[in-house]
């Protein structure tokens, strides 16, 4: 049975993704924030790990417990929307910790682990349009900078492991159709947003044998009526 490790497991995207991978026959390993409970039922047989994603030692200890890791889905993150004048270094550091540091240690160690496996593995990150489009990024400066670091990190991972079967992909969706976004933007048309299941299905496809030769680092997902 293939093994997938998912961060941000308590969120809406985490819930949908875990369910989709479990239905496809994967063993789920869910990373949760220490002290934070999951308010929905996990897939049968799922293992949970209350873990600080900034604790490199704890991350390595957790990975050592897994005899095999076929896919790592880095879904943990957060958002702050302020322009340049309202953005100070504290907010930049907070977004770096939230969106980049939570991926750095785990992706680095997972890539090393995968590189010695015969079939390698897949690492999937969630990028953001503000990181690649300054017109969007100017309204969420700290967020855009942190996601840009994440997306460049994916390129560095692919360069470092170019001779192995470890591939890192970044999915960049337009607005996700989540309860939080519906509440924050009540006048918007959610039919134009990206359904969470579309993201989960794309991530699963990237982790299949069919996609072994697919080496595009960045995939853009757009919603539509």
pLDDT computed for residue 225 by the predictor = 43
Q: Does domain 3-221 have CATH number 3.40.50.720?
A: yes
pTM, two decimals, is 0.93
Residues 6+ apart with CB under 8 A from 145: 92, 95, 96, 131, 137
- Contact predicate 7/49, CB 8 Å: no
d(CA 101, CA 93): 10
Q: For residue 171, is pLDDT > 90?
A: yes
Half-sphere exposure for 46 (CA within 13 Å, toward CB): 27
Structure token pair of residue 222: 């757009």
Residue keyed to tokens 């095999």: 68
* DSSP secondary structure code for residue 188 in this structure: S
pLDDT computed for residue 223 by the predictor = 65
Chain centre to alpha carbon of residue 122: 12
* Bigger pLDDT: 181 vs 224: 181
Mean pLDDT of the chain: 92
d(CA 32, CA 50): 5
Q: Tens digits of per-residue pLDDT, 40-92?
A: 888 888 999 999 999 999 999 999 999 999 999 999 999 999 999 999 999 99
- SS3 of residue 73 by DSSP: strand
pLDDT computed for residue 218 by the predictor = 81
- SS3 of residue 97 by DSSP: helix
């Amino acid at each position: 049975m293939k093994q997938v490790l998912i961060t941000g497991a308590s969120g809406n995207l985490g819930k949908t993704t875990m369910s989709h991978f479990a239905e496809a026959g994967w063993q789920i390993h869910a990373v949760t924030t220490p002290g934070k409970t999951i308010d929905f039922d996990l897939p049968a047989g799922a293992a949970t790990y209350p873990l600080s994603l900034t604790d490199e030692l704890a991350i390595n200890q957790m990975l050592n417990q897994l005899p095999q890791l076929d896919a790592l889905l880095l879904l943990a993150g957060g958002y702050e929307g302020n322009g340049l004048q309202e953005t100070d270094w504290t907010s930049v550091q907070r977004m770096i910790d939230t969106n980049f540091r939570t991926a750095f240690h785990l992706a680095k160690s997972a890539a090393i682990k995968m590189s010695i496996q015969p079939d390698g593995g897949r690492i999937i990150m969630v990028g953001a349009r503000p990181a690649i489009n300054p017109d969007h990024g100017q309204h969420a400066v700290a967020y855009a900078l942190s996601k840009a670091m994440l997306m460049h990190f994916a390129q560095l991972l692919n360069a470092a492991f170019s001779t192995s079967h470890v591939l890192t992909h970044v999915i960049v969706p337009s607005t996700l159709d989540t309860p939080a976004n519906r509440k924050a933007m009540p006048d918007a048309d959610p039919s134009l947003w990206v359904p969470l299941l579309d993201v989960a299905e794309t991530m699963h496809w990237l982790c299949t044998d069919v996609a072994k030769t697919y080496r595009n680092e960045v995939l853009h997902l757009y919603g539509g009526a």
